[in-house]
Structures are given as structure tokens and as C-alpha cells.
């Protein structure tokens, strides 16, 4: 279910961007479904230059995103991870600080970073938002980075 009424752009003027994807291995069952639909949407928009870095967990997405923006000179990055609430406070530590880390990177580099992180209460919510037959968000992540990049051409 979505409460968003905005519409994504129907067409994009420019698509020759280098896009980075940082993805985590934790909860890879869900992460991989999100990555697959992001990549598919990028390819459908003629993006040929996609660099993917896989890291252990969502926490490491901050480091990988920095590398994609600086070392690999990507125009923008989609950071994809899934954090599922457990019995310890790790969920809060990771989710809040990763978001801050990614925000700092987008400000430091003046390049867009799409927040492709699902922070869910349980596996069922993660499944609902990553399964392509349900509410998979991967396409939205890809569309968002392309639209934001098109603001500055």
C-alpha cells in the first residue's frame, strides 16, 4: 500500500550517467530482489555504465558509497540494504547512523545518493517491499537517482 500521489517523470532528457550500486550481503534474499529491479530499470533507461560493490552489511554501505562516488567517479549511487529489527539495539544503531553517513556523503560530494534501505520490523515486511510480485521498491530507487541527476544537466 502506498500513500504517495506524486508521479515519476515520464521521460528523462539525459541518461549517459555512471551509476554505482552499493549492496549488502546481510538479508541478501531481499537485497538481491531490490538490486535486480534497480538494474533492470537502469538498463531500460539505457544506462550502460553500472558499477556494483557488495559489502557484508548495511553499515558498510557508507564506505562503499564513498568509494563509488570518489574512487570510481560515479555520478550517483543507490545504496541498497535491508535491516530487520532483532532483539538487540543494532537495528537503531545501524539505521540511524547509516542514514546520517549517506547524507554526509551526498553533501560532501554534491552527488545524489538514493536511500535504498529498508528498515523493517520483520521478514514479512521486508518480503512485501522487495518481492517483484508485491511492492518491490528497486525500480523507484533507480528512477529516483535518474530524476535527481536530470535536475542538474
Task: Name the residues annotated as catalytic.
Answer: 90
Annotate each residue in 53-82 with x if it binds ligand RBF (CB under 6 A) or - if it does not, as one string.
---xxxxx--------------------xx
Q: Does residue 112 touch ligand RBF according to CB under 6 A?
A: no
CB of 16 vs ligand RBF, minimal distance in Å: 32
Does position 27 bind ligand RBF by CB under 6 A? Answer: yes
**Could you tell me the smallest distance in angstroms from the CB atom of residue 6 to ligand RBF?**
28
Tell me which residue of 61, 20, 35, 1 sits closest to 130, measured CA to CA: 35
CA–CA dist 12, 47 (Å, integer): 12
Cα gap 31→120, rounded to integer Å: 13
Distance of alpha carbon 61 from alpha carbon 78, whole angstroms: 10
Residues 81-100 that bind ligand RBF (CB under 6 A): 81-84, 86, 88, 90, 94
Strand-pairing partners, residue 53, are 22
The binder of ligand RBF chosen from 19, 21, 22, 26 (CB under 6 A)? 26
Closest approach of Cβ 131 to ligand RBF, in Å? 18
* Cβ atoms of residues 64 and 22 within 8 Å: yes
Helix-, strand-, coil-residue percentages of the chain, each rounded to 5 = 45, 20, 35
Residues forming contacts to ligand RBF in the complex (CB under 6 A) are 24, 26-27, 56-60, 81-84, 86, 88, 90, 94
Amino acid at each position: 500500500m502506498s500513500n504517495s500521489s506524486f508521479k515519476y517523470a515520464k521521460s528523462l532528457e539525459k541518461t549517459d550517467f555512471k551509476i554505482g550500486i552499493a549492496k549488502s550481503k546481510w538479508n541478501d534474499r531481499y537485497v538481491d530482489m531490490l538490486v535486480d529491479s534497480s538494474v533492470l530499470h537502469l538498463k531500460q533507461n539505457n544506462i550502460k555504465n553500472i558499477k556494483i560493490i557488495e559489502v557484508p552489511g548495511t553499515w558498510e554501505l557508507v564506505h562503499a558509497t564513498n568509494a563509488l562516488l570518489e574512487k570510481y567517479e560515479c555520478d550517483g549511487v543507490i545504496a541498497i540494504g535491508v535491516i530487520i529489527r532483532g532483539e538487540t539495539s543494532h537495528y537503531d544503531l545501524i539505521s540511524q547512523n547509516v542514514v546520517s553517513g549517506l547524507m554526509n556523503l551526498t553533501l560532501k560530494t554534491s552527488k545524489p545518493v538514493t536511500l535504498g534501505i529498508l528498515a523493517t520490523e520483520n521478514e514479512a515486511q521486508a518480503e512485501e517491499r522487495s518481492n517483484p510480485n508485491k511492492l518491490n521498491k528497486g525500480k523507484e530507487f533507480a528512477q529516483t537517482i535518474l530524476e535527481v541527476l536530470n535536475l542538474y544537466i
